Amino acid sequence: MPNLSYYYCLYYSEFQLDVSMLVGYGNSNRCTYVQVWDNYRDLLTRVFAQLGDLNPELVSDQKRKLVMVPPQMARVGTKKTLFVNFSTICRSLMRDQSHLTTYILTELGTQGSVDANGALLIRGRYTSKHMEPVLRNYCRTYVLCGTCQSSETDLCKDSRLLFLHCRRCGSRFTVKTVTSGFQALTGKRAALRAKTQ
């Protein structure tokens, strides 16, 4: 609470209260206490004190950093990689698994799927060194707010546009939708034709 300059005990019958002069008041049994503030600085400190009591996250200057665990990659056979902590990273980013799966597979130019344990099975050999820049670019594009750099955002689809809405500052802007690129079919064409017929 800021330092109060004056307290007046005003009896109802003796004074007419000028409402424009009153900042705060309270009732007692015998009289009305009126707080008169010296200057604008006292008013500001009072407002920020009340704001801090009601919403402490708005007053704090500390930004919440997005802390993400490093990706854990495991080899499956000779040609596949398992992204072990994929579901944990999706939860820490507060994003849907399908959206992050589509982005990773598009950026790496490969195919893959999510297994029953929540791990991402990717065709090809990849290490955590390959996956970290992909996740960093995803966070920069689809997680962090462009205005306040907060990670408290939501992805909303409205009229075929994908919007990133920040819950902290209220800004809303469009982001690119993830589209899978061209993937060439490799293998024997005769075997593919035989399967389709």
Local confidence pLDDT in tens for the 197 residues of the chain: 443 444 443 333 344 444 444 444 555 555 554 555 557 778 788 877 887 777 766 655 555 677 788 999 999 989 999 999 999 999 998 899 999 999 999 999 899 999 998 899 999 999 999 999 999 999 999 999 888 888 889 998 888 899 999 888 888 999 988 877 666 666 667 777 777 77
Q: Are 66 and 151 in contact (CB under 8 A)?
A: yes
Query: Structure pTM?
Result: 0.63
Q: Which CATH architecture has domain 73-144?
A: 2-Layer Sandwich (3.30)
Q: Which residue intervals of the chain are DSSP H helices? A: 40-54, 56-59, 86-93, 97-108, 128-142, 189-196
Strands 112-114 and 161-166: unpaired
Helix (H, G, I), strand (E, B) or coil at 84: coil
Read off the amino acid at residue 22: L
